[in-house]
Structure formats: C-alpha cells, structure tokens
Structure 1
Amino acid sequence: MADVAVTTLDGNAIAGLLADVFGQEMTLATGTCASCGASGEVGTFVVYTRAPGTVARCPACTSVLMVLVTVRNVTCVDLRGLAALDLTR
C-alpha cells in the first residue's frame, strides 16, 4: 500500500463553512470534547478536509468532534462529539 500524506489544518480553515452553517463567526467559540472533556476554541480543532466531508477532531485526544458534509448545496452537520459549544464571548 502506498504511503498517503495526511494534511491537517486548524479550525480556521473551515471558518467560512461554519459561518455559512451557523450564520456567525464560530472559530472563537469554545467547544468541549464529549470524550475527554478538553475545551478550546473551534479554531484550534484539528481539521481534515480530504474526505467525503470535513472532519474536526479534538487536539487533545483525537476524537471526532464535528463532521460537515455538503450535498446538493445543503450542509449537514454532526456535532455529537461535542459535549458543549459555547458562543458567548
């Protein structure tokens, strides 16, 4: 099997997509991982964009926090990896 280079980005790479979905700037929102309890700004999440969708993982434990998939101009969002998403700032 050939070596596949995996390129990760931070949460800022999906700022536009998140703004389209949530209607506001989201990279400064605080997300709490449902798996390990670590909290941090969405902009610090580890993001993979080379999949059928976009996957954001916890930088502490690598659990999946959010998955965003766009089909026919509709973006579906799965946030079940987040225990909380705090928009107050």
Structure 2
Amino acid sequence: MGDAREHTATTLDGNALAGLLGDVFAVDVTMIVTECRGCGRSEPLAEAIVERDASCAIVRCRGCTRTQFTVFDEREGIRIDLGSIGLLRLDRP
C-alpha cells in the first residue's frame, strides 16, 4: 500500500521564493516577469501563487493556476523543473 503520511503545503505569493531563487539568480527574483504558456498572462514573480512545503515550492499562474515551475530544495542543491512557463524575463532598470 502507499505511504499514508499527510502532505501539507502552505499557499503564499511569489515573494516566498526570494530565499530559494536568490541563491540561483544574483538579482531581486521577485521582479522577474513570468509568462504562462497556458493563458499568456505576464506578471512579476512576486504576484504568482506559490504552494510551499519543506521540500519544494510550486509556482502557479494567478490567471489560470497552471503550474509554471517547481523549485526543489534538495540536500545536493536547488533544482528547478520548468513546467508550463513560457519565459522568465528580468527588465533592466
């Protein structure tokens, strides 16, 4: 039989990714603009919906709730699975 442990996640906004992605990108990651392949919505990462637990953060489009990408916090390091994200863009000041 399968593992019966309860799995809970907290729903946050994109600001929850600052620590995780700050190690990967040497910029304010909350200002990175994402574009959803599902609905075409573009928004700063700070406005995305994030479901976070101890092992990963699932980033969802606020427009259609599709998973854009998932950030895994593993013992070996950070791994990013690019799901339905169309692009990541950081505008120059």
Task: Compute the TM-score of the two structures, normalised by the length of structure 1.
Answer: 0.84
Aligned to 2:3: none
Deviation at 1:5, TM superposition (A): 7.6
- Aligned mates of 1:59, 1:51 — CA distance in 2: 22
- For the aligned residues, what is the CA RMSD? 1.9
1:85 to 72, 84, 88: 88
| Change in CA separation of 1:48 and 1:88 when aligned onto 2, cut-off 3 Å | same
1:32 to 35, 42, 45: 35
Alpha-carbon separation, structure 2, partners of 1:86 and 1:62: 20
Aligned length: 86
Q: Distance in 2 between matches of 1:16 and 1:6?
A: 17
1:11 — aligned with what? 14
Pairing 1:75–2:55 present: no
| Structure 2: gaps of 5 or more residues | 1-6
Cα distance change of structure 1 residues 39 and 23 upon mapping to structure 2, 3 Å threshold: same
What does residue 49 of structure 2 align with? 46
Q: What TM-score, normalized by structure 2, do the two folds share? A: 0.81
Q: Distance in 2 between matches of 1:6 and 1:75?
A: 18
How many Å separate the matches in 2 of 1:29 and 1:21? Answer: 13
In the alignment, structure 1 segments of 5+ residues that lack a partner are: none
Aligned partner letter, 1:15: A
- AA aligned to 2:63 is A
